[in-house]
Amino acid sequence: MSIDIRLARIDDRLIHGQITTAWSKQVSINRILVISDEAAANPLRKVLLKQAAPAGIHVNVLSVSRMMEVSKSHILDGEKIAMLFTTPVDVEALVRSGMTFESVNVGGMSFSSGKKMLTNFVSVDDRDVEAFLYLAEQGIELEIRKVPADHRLNLMEALKKQNFI
């Protein structure tokens, strides 16, 4: 049995209001997997992420390598999952390890040094663009949307329009 991924989302805020109110209801999940080496290595952040989850939804915070192991097991059979990432590079690593995704939602990537603004809530650097190109080449739909009711913006078209690729 394959993993029932209802939502794969890149949002460096991870679990926050949009996840707890809009997305979790829209995609009908019972488990959130936070895939982040940084968060998995921080015991306090793990506790806070688990506390931020909606009632009745279990949360696991895993490193990228641990998710690679879990994806090859049957541990998640029967679970309806939202996977949350902070960066497209982590999604790329999982795809290269054999995981499959139909689509990836980009909900927020903060501006920081070395990044360029793609939209008012998505900023990317060259490594992010590289990862997105790889994911697109694998046939994965890449869309930008903060909440389910928003209009879908094709990430690759936005990158081309802004001359990022």
For the chain, the C-alpha Rg in angstroms (whole number) is: 15
Work out how many domains the chain is built from and give that number.
1
Domain range for 9 is 4-161
Instruction: pLDDT band for 12, please (50, 70, 90 cuts).
Output: very high
**Which of 113, 139, 105, 132 has its CA nearest to residue 6?**
105
What are the tens digits of pLDDT across the range 120-148? 999 999 999 999 999 999 999 999 999 99
Q: What is the CATH number of the domain that holds 130?
A: 3.40.35.10
Residues annotated catalytic, as ranges? 16
With 0.85 as the threshold, say if the pTM is over it: yes
